[in-house]
Amino acid sequence: MKSGRENFLYTACGLDTVTLMNVEVRRCAECGEYEVDIPRIEELHRLIAQEVAAKAARLTPMEVRFLRKYLGFSGVDFAAVLDVTPETVSRWENGKKQMSPVSERALRLMVFVRAPLAEYPLEKLAEVAQGDAVPLRMKLRESRSQWQAEALAA
- Which CB, 29 or 122, lies closer to Zn ion? 29
Q: How far apart are CA 120 and CA 99, in angstroms?
A: 22
In whole angstroms, how close is the CB of 32 to Zn ion at the nearest point? Answer: 7
Closest CA to 129 of 92, 96, 104: 104
Q: What is the nearest approach in angstroms of Zn ion to the Cβ of residue 48?
A: 30
Residue nearer to Zn ion on the CB measure, 30 or 83: 30
Instruction: Give me the torsion for CA of 110, 116, 122, 128, rounded to 10°.
Output: -60
Q: In this complex, which beta carbon is closest to Zn ion, that of residue 28 or of residue 126?
A: 28
User: Which residues make up the interface to Zn ion (CB under 5 A)?
Assistant: 28, 30-31, 33
- How far apart are alpha carbons 108 and 132 in whole angstroms? 17
Report in angstroms how near the CB of residue 39 gets to Zn ion at its nearest: 24
